[in-house]
Every structure is written in C-alpha cells, then in structure tokens.
C-alpha cells in the first residue's frame, strides 16, 4: 500500500508570509497616520477660519452698538475742562461706549469698550484685546479724558485720553497676529468725499473704522483678516443740547 505524499509549510515560506503581513500592516498604519494628520490640519484651519469670522462679527456688533455720549475732560489742577465726544481713536487702540458687549451681548448694560494691541505669548507676534467696563453715565467715565489739544483742521479743542492698559479680565479678540492697525474715516466735501486717519483728533465721531490685521501664519487654505471696515451709523450729535 502506497503512502500519500503530504506537503507542509516550510520555515522559509512562513517567514516570507510574516514579512509580507508586516509590510502590509506598516503600509496601512502609515496611510492611517497620514489621513489622521491631514484631518487634524483641516480641522485646525477650519477652527482658525471660524475664529477669524468670529472676530469680524464681534467687532461689527460692538462698533454697531456705539453710543454717542460725552465725557467731562479735566482741565488745569483737575478742574472741569469742558465736554468732549467719548471716542478715542489711535493707531493701536480705540475706546468708546457701546450697547453691545461680549459678556452680555445686546441685552446687557452699556459698556465702555477699550481695544488695544499687546505683545503675544512668549513675545510671539501681537494680540488684540478688549476691556469691558461698566458704563452708568458720564460720571462713570470721568477721568478718561485728561485734557484737550487743538484740532488740526478746525483749531477747536480735541480731547486727550489716558492710555489703555491690559487687565486681568481682558478678552483676547485675536491672537497670533503679525500686526494690527486702526484707521478712522472722516467724511469731507467733494471731490474727495472721505479721508482716512491713523489717529482721530476731532471732537466728533468718525463715519467708519477700519481694522487691519496681518496673521503670523499665511497659507492658501487660511482665511486672512486683512481689512475689516465697519461703518458707524450714528446721526445724533452728542455735543448738541436739545430742549425738552
């Protein structure tokens, strides 16, 4: 009686099979890592773009809620020096009273908003922050205006305001920026119609505010906040006194 020929798996074949499986597993793991990395980058860009849109929306809401109020400026030796429009506009800072705040939205009490640019974390770029201080009338902002200087166009006194400093409760509106600059629009007669100033030195409200922000990180997939122009739609003159 003949015995059947039986063939098993040799050690060499087993090693080849294990090597192929290891190579396939390594390829699959590498592809998964690449896919996860690409998804994380996409999510990161998406979140950055959402933050950019959030900054624009917050600034638009705060400036849209600007209230035309006056402030009592200090004169010599702390004596009253006359009233001025409560609006401070500098290249790196801005201050005004608004009915909209980040904490309470449009349903809370008016706030004195103080925007300023400070150095970023670990000296990396700059960030735009805002202070929200309660406003309960002209007396609550007394001391913000420390004097006056001559208006460069009309020669009339223009208010001088104290510098804006960061506080422990400051909100970070935008971070990781290379530069930030504020510009202010003044409507003038034809043929020019308008003029932009890096520093607002008029005892009236500007017709619009432009915020220029340059991000530290650039790329085709990133939504850049380069220029945001927000009109100020206030028709009331806070310097006029109306009879009852």
pLDDT reported for residue 39: 58
Contact 184, 207 (CB under 8 A): no
User: Residue 191 has which token pair?
Assistant: 């043929």
How far from 45 is each of 34, 106, 172, 189, 220, CA to CA, in Å? 17, 30, 19, 44, 10
Name the one residue in this structure whose structure tokens are 């004195």. Answer: 112
DSSP secondary structure code for residue 5 in this structure: P
pLDDT reported for residue 175: 86
Q: Give the angle 58-61-62 at the CA atoms, nearest 5°.
A: 85
Question: Which residues on adjacent β-strands are paired with residue 96?
Answer: 87, 113
pLDDT reported for residue 240: 65
pLDDT reported for residue 154: 65
pLDDT reported for residue 114: 95
Distance CA 76, CA 185 (A): 31
Residue 70: partners with Cβ closer than 8 Å, 6 or more residues away: 83, 84, 85, 86, 138, 238, 239
Residue 97: partners with Cβ closer than 8 Å, 6 or more residues away: 66, 67, 69, 86, 110, 111, 112, 113, 135, 141
Model pTM?
Answer: 0.73
Render each residue's pLDDT in the chain as its tens digit; 244 residues: 555 555 667 777 778 888 888 888 888 888 777 767 655 554 455 445 445 557 788 888 899 999 999 998 876 666 666 788 999 999 999 999 999 888 777 677 899 999 999 998 888 899 999 999 999 888 889 888 888 877 766 677 788 899 999 999 999 888 888 899 999 999 887 787 889 999 998 888 999 999 998 888 766 545 555 678 899 987 666 666 544 3
pLDDT reported for residue 135: 92
User: Alpha helix locations (H) across the chain?
Assistant: 11-64
How far from 101 is each of 9, 35, 227, CA to CA, in Å? 76, 41, 22
Q: In angstroms, how far is CA 139 from the centroid of its own chain?
A: 29
pLDDT reported for residue 37: 65
pLDDT reported for residue 112: 94
pLDDT reported for residue 34: 75
User: Residue 123 has which token pair?
Assistant: 């000296």
Pseudo-torsion of CA 112, 85, 116, 129, nearest 10°? 30
Contact 85, 148 (CB under 8 A): no
Contact 138, 69 (CB under 8 A): yes
């Amino acid at each position: 009686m003949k015995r059947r020929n039986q063939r098993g798996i040799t050690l060499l074949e087993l090693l080849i099979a294990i090597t192929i499986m290891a190579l396939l597993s390594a390829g699959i793991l590498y592809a998964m890592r690449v896919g996860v990395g690409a998804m994380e980058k996409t999510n990161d860009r998406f979140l950055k773009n959402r933050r950019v849109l959030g900054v624009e929306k917050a600034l638009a809401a705060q400036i849209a809620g600007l209230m035309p109020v006056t402030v009592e400026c200090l004169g010599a030796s702390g004596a009253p020096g006359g009233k001025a429009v409560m609006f401070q506009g500098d290249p790196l800072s801005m201050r005004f009273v608004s009915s909209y705040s980040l904490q309470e939205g449009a349903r809370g009490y008016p706030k004195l908003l103080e925007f300023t640019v400070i150095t970023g974390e670990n000296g990396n770029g700059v960030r735009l922050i805002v202070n929200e201080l309660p406003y309960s009338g002209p007396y609550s902002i007394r001391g913000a205006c420390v004097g006056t200087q001559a208006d460069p166009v009309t020669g009339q006194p223009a208010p001088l305001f104290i510098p804006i400093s960061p506080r422990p409760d400051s909100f970070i509106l935008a971070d990781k920026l290379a530069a930030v600059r504020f510009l202010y629009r003044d409507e003038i007669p034809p043929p020019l119609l308008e003029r932009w100033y890096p520093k607002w030195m008029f005892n009236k409200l500007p017709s619009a505010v432009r915020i220029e922000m340059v991000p530290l990180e650039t790329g085709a997939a990133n939504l850049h906040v380069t220029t945001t122009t927000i009109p100020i739609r206030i028709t009331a003159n806070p310097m006029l006194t109306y009879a009852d």
